[in-house]
Amino acid sequence: MAPRKEQQIFRATLELLAAKGYEGLTVEGVAERSRVNKTTIYRWWPSKAALLAAALVEADLLAMEQPDTGSLRGDLEALVRGIVALLTRPPAADVAVAALGAAVHHRELAEAVRRFFADRFVREEAVFERARRRGELSATADPMLIVDLLAGAVWLRTVFRGLPPDDDFAARAVSAVLDGSATARARTGGPAAG
């Protein structure tokens, strides 16, 4: 399928999900909205779950630039700012929050969300590989844990607390996971040698 047409279908899928929820999402509705024949859509994606999984992973609407600022700190701050934007700025915010919220209730959607996060992580690993080569990451550091702490904090702050992160949120959150919040006397081991 032509990339432009595919993106049209993905955008229609995600907009319909945000507007009507997972129950209200139908391949017929996507066909109408994207002006693509229903049988064409079914030929590529056998179910609405498959279509939504593809849209979550591949839609330009939810794409995030992979940062390469020259430092781990800079890359992680850019990553956090990207997640804040994704969860707070329309139209992507409505889609991202609706998809993730709905995943809680629908087992087949949960699988799509797992693929979404797994796919993101594969891309984010480049940030940590470069950081290791530059000697910025301690030997015991756990990249997926770092990503989950940061992305989870943005989700909790924006969606559950309803508090939009302020301008220095990214810098403070990244400093918390890179520099730690304990005093020297309360630390275990301390930073590994660079």
Burial 128-151 (b: 16+ CB within 10 A, else e): bebbeeeebbeeebebeebbeebb
Choices 6-14, 28-36, 41-49, 173-181 (CB under 8 A): range interacting with a copy of itself: 173-181
CB of 53 to a copy of itself, least distance (A): 14
Taking Cα atoms as reference points, which of 160, 44, 20, 33 lies closest to residue 98? 20
Task: Kindly state whether residue 187 participates in binding a copy of itself, applying the rule CB under 8 A.
Answer: yes
Cβ atoms < 10 Å from Cβ of 162 = 7
Site for a copy of itself in 107-166 (CB under 8 A): 110, 113-114, 117-118, 131, 134-138, 140-142, 145-146, 148-157, 159-162
- Number of residues forming the site for a copy of itself (CB under 8 A): 64
Kindly tell me which of 18 and 31 has the beta carbon lying closer to a copy of itself. 18
Q: For 144, which DSSP code?
A: H
* C-alpha span between 10 and 13 (Å, rounded): 5
Kindly tell me which of 24 and 46 has the beta carbon lying closer to a copy of itself. 24
Q: Among 2, 65, 90, 189, which residue interacts with a copy of itself (rule: CB under 8 A)?
A: 189
Task: Kindly state whether residue 190 participates in binding a copy of itself, applying the rule CB under 8 A.
Answer: yes
CB of 140 to a copy of itself, least distance (A): 8
Kindly tell me which of 61 and 146 has the beta carbon lying closer to a copy of itself. 146
Residue 17 CA neighbour count, 13 Å, CB half: 29
Read off the tokens for 168.
């220095």
- Residue partners of 136: CB distance under 8 A and separation at least 6: 71, 72, 73, 194
CB of 88 to a copy of itself, least distance (A): 13
Q: x/- site string to a copy of itself, residues 69 to 98, per CB under 8 A?
A: --xxx-----------------------xx
* C-alpha span between 147 and 142 (Å, rounded): 9
Alpha-carbon 115 to chain mean position? 11
Site residues, a copy of itself (CB under 8 A) = 21, 71-73, 97-98, 100-105, 110, 113-114, 117-118, 131, 134-138, 140-142, 145-146, 148-157, 159-162, 172-173, 175-194
